[in-house]
Amino acid sequence: DVKVTQSSRYLVKRTGEKVFLECVQDMDHENMFWYRQDPGLGLRLIYFSYDVKMKEKGDIPEGYSVSREKKERFSLILESASTNQTSMYLCASSLLLAGVGEQFFGPGTRLTVL
Amino acid sequence: DAKTTQPNSMESNEEEPVHLPCNHSTISGTDYIHWYRQLPSQGPEYVIHGLTSNVNNRMASLAIAEDRKSSTLILHRATLRDAAVYYCILRDSRGQGAQKLVFGQGTRLTINP
């Protein structure tokens, strides 16, 4: 079975801190994604990557950066966390198949910024 | 991205079939229709996808209208574990955008015992 793991289920940080969210997948998938999920707004794509060292902005990249140094690992970085970044963060991965590749999601990290 | 329209919520009884509708009147010829669901406190999971023909798998069936402007996800015999938010998503088969999923609000399905 494909497994997507995220470094923490719950995280509490202070405003201004640098925050790293880590995601690892074990199925050699080319694509990896970071979403955030908020009540009433649904899931929104922050960044995605289709290869090592490649990244593409999603719909809401402001305030975030990403790193993909190895194929299996995709990191989301909040350079200076703010309270409006309190959210559920979901990582996903998929094969590079146009239009049809199933995305596999991790369990999510609930981040609270105080 | 072409949009989909789903009811906000639906309710059904255990062991009965459930038909979840989705309208996508602006669908293009290269768009696939994908369904995902999200169980409470979990990430979304893939359910099924199709292009033009009806599709079946172990989880559900997908019925696609002949003009492709609507589709229906069918759970043949709902269980309490099927209670989730169901998302209908159109996915372009072309270019880098083909790798993305754009989630709407979905339909919250409640299953009564």
Q: For B85-101, how does the pLDDT look when each residue is reduced to its tens digit (9 = 90+)?
A: 999 999 887 766 667 78
Mutate to test the interface with B, among A43, A55, A93, A104 (most CBs of B within 10 A): A43
B99 vs A: CB within 8 A: yes
* Neighbour-count burial for B73-91, b at 16+ CB within 10 Å, e otherwise: bebeebeeebbbbbbbbbb
> Residues B47-53: contacts with CB within 8 Å, 24+ apart?
B47/B73, B47/B86, B48/B73, B49/A100, B49/A102, B49/B91
Which residues of chain A does B101 touch, with a Cβ-Cβ cutoff of 8 Å? 33, 43, 45, 103
Write out pLDDT tens, residues A37-85. 999 888 999 999 989 999 999 999 999 999 999 999 999 999 999 999 9
Which residues of chain B does A103 touch, with a Cβ-Cβ cutoff of 8 Å? 36, 44, 46, 101
Q: How many Cβ pairs closer than 8 A exist between chain A and B?
A: 64
Q: What is the pLDDT along chain B (113 residues), one digit of tens a residue?
A: 568 999 999 999 999 999 999 999 999 888 899 999 999 989 999 999 999 999 999 999 999 999 999 999 999 999 999 999 999 999 887 766 667 788 889 999 999 99
